[in-house]
Amino acid sequence: MAGFWTGAAALATAGRRGRRWPKLLMRSVALWTVKHVPHYSRRYLVVSRTLCSAGYDSNEKTFDKILIANRGEIACRVIKTCKKMGIKTVAIHSDVDASSVHVKMADEAVCVGPAPTSKSYLNMNAIMDAVRSTRAQAVHPGYGFLSENKEFAKRLAAEDVIFIGPDTHAIQAMGDKIESKLLAKKAKVNTIPGFDGVVKDADEAVRIAREIGYPVMIKASAGGGGKGMRIAWDDEETRDGFRFSSQEAASSFGDDRLLIEKFIDNPRHIEIQVLGDKHGNALWLNERECSIQRRNQKVVEEAPSIFLDSETRRAMGEQAVALAKAVSYSSAGTVEFLVDSKKNFYFLEMNTRLQVEHPVTECITGLDLVQEMIRVAKGYPLRHKQADIPINGWAVECRVYAEDPYKSFGLPSVGRLSQYEEPIHLPGVRVDSGIQPGSDISIYYDPMISKLITYGSDRTEALKRMEDALDSYVIRGVTHNIALLREVIINSRFIEGDINTKFLSDVYPDGFKGHPLTETERNQFLAVASSLFVASQLRAQHFQDHESSRVPIVKPQVASWELSVKLHDEIHTVVVSSSGPTFSVEVDGSKLNVTSTWNLASPLLSVNVDGTQRTIQCLSREAGGNMSIQFLGTVYKVRILTKLAAELNKFMLEKAAEDTSSILRSPMPGVVVAISVKPGDLVAEGQEICVIEAMKMQNSMTAGKTGKVKSVHCKAGDTVGEGDLLVELE
């Protein structure tokens, strides 16, 4: 099993010396091979590139059949563990998800309704019918949807079906942010100052915000995942925040109650993974650093945190366990904290479910959290003690989204994956996904493509592996955020650990613009692009079986190619000469050698530029010389012409750019929730024109200038695509 990082040889040696190894480590022996032999200390668990090293005891009886009340990557993740445990699985799906990967992976599948979540994945009646018809003994809710819905858990309990999660009391207590904050105070957990009640309306929200003092955080009481959350710095933003947060909360969670608390500026977001059983035992499984966020949603996570010392880690872990024990918590859960620059930490919320970012914890502890949830749900006690839980190595997770990172750090993109290849051929890489080539990314669900996780012996190795994995990830057909992810992990502030929840806006105050090429990188890129152009030209001149042709073919003898390359509105003179697989390239007076196999049919191309190895992707090549190349994570567009073609191109007319000052186009695909204007209305610059909901997030579209509305091209309820015309001004 080449996918495992193993310590089998070290274990065997220790065994010969008569050492006694912890039971947790011993259970993993059957999964190991002796292909790689790193050294691990006694208490360390060994991690696999796919899941973890946890042992799966076929003699330990749990459930015969589990229904997964979710979709996408988390449904696939649960199914994988169920298969290892010998448990049959049932997938549920909406009609548009009928051909999804999680449906194909499961032993059975049941359609629970049409595409909208309210009619399918949130449709309790249909899901309960699926449970009955398949005779599932237990339900794993994944994350989101019904994972923290106490009514769903109660309905399952009423029919003697096990909910794989905490009991309804814990869901109620911790799922409600107001009640959880009161309980946290009682359990002597550090809490954020705020209003401990439900905010009734916008006027009360303003009054409370003034009493607390700006800035404040408005958030859904039953929420999570960044939805139903707004930061307000004044009265106007509080009113808008109340409106949008309540609408998002109702749409995502079926509960529009809101609370308000003091917003701690420039904090870190660090969370503690907890695990409890039904016998009063509870553990903390170390922390996850989740400070890199956009719109209160995490983008990059890692474990452990570079910021915490052992004393602070222990204090946070002990408080998290104290809170879990206060509600007799029995499953995997996460206690989230905000941590200031002096390492003071404050309880934020508790998520009574499996977190999106749980893989990084699995990597550094060796535990399979889904397996632990299933065992606890069956009534087994925890197998481990707090002293058994290690921090072994370092893990980083990047959330790969179908989003345009150049628009507000990521506005949703939809489309069909025309080509898709995960970089699992690289060492230390794990990909949790629920898609395949041909899968659709639709407006109905979260735009996550996958969770890309890399593991290393230390942070430096984990980050280098992530850099390589992002370069080698092939995603075609939708816009994605790999450029942003790669820039984050190579940023000097991130590498030094100088991060907080405002990292993206601080580092990119004018928005994300892609990777800024240094002069050396620019020359490397121009040399690679020019070599690609010449390689494609040489391939076009090659005739198949020309030896047997009756017509003699005269091969053009070109010693060198003089090219005109346009990048970022700058034109560079490049001269290329070839010698086998190596091209000698002169770029603006600098000479470089570029070597590759030049397999132009491959989506990935490994090139060597003067000893520097790069992995690039040529996304498109057009007859007119236009090329799109992914280089250092960012896609650059170049136009390469021969010297003669460049001379002739001067006589071509340029297409006039569209005047967009008087029109409003949709920046993303979505559904129009509200229209605030009609023809003839006068609008001011910055005034709200309409609201578009995309992937359960509501976005306010505003006027770019002052003027009169000439025409409105949409109405509430319409589905719009990216670039669709919404409103015209005179």
- Which residues are tagged catalytic? 349
Choose among 499, 289, 465: nearest CA to 391: 289
With contact defined as beta carbons under 8 Å apart, do 532 and 629 qualify? yes
Omega before 669 within 30 of 0, i.e. cis: no
Looking at residue 6, its amino acid is T
Which 8-state DSSP code applies to residue 426? Answer: S
Q: Pairing between strand 582-587 and 670-675?
A: unpaired
For tokens 């060796």, what's the residue?
A: 366
Helices 177-186 and 168-175, axial angle in degrees (round to 10): 100
φ and ψ of 243, to 5 deg: -65, -50
Residues 6+ away with beta carbon under 8 Å from 477: 415, 416, 417, 418, 419, 420
3-state secondary structure 472-483: CCEEECCCCCHH
CB 107 within 8 A of CB 90: yes
CB-neighbour burial class of residue 503 (10 A; exposed 0-12, middle 13-18, buried 19+): buried
Q: Which two tokens stand for residue 308?
A: 């915490």
Count of CA atoms in the C-beta half-sphere (13 A) of 111 = 10
Q: Give per-residue burial for 282-305: e unless 16+ CB within 10 Å, then b.
A: bbbbbbbbbbbbbbbbbbbbbbbb
* Nearest alpha-carbon partner for 500 in 285, 272, 342, 318: 342
Is 604 within 8 Å of 617 (Cβ atoms)? yes
Number of neighbouring beta carbons within 10 Å of residue 512 = 22
CA dist., res. 716 & res. 673, Å (int): 5
Max Cα separation, the chain? 92
Work out the number of other CB atoms within 10 angstroms of the CB of residue 73.
Answer: 22
The Cα 522–Cα 516 span in angstroms is 9
**Crossing angle (nearest 10°) for helices 150-158 and 168-175:** 170
Type of residue at 321: V
For residues 294 and 502, give the distance between their C-alpha atoms in angstroms, rounded to a whole number.
8
- What radius of gyration do the chain's Cα atoms show? 28
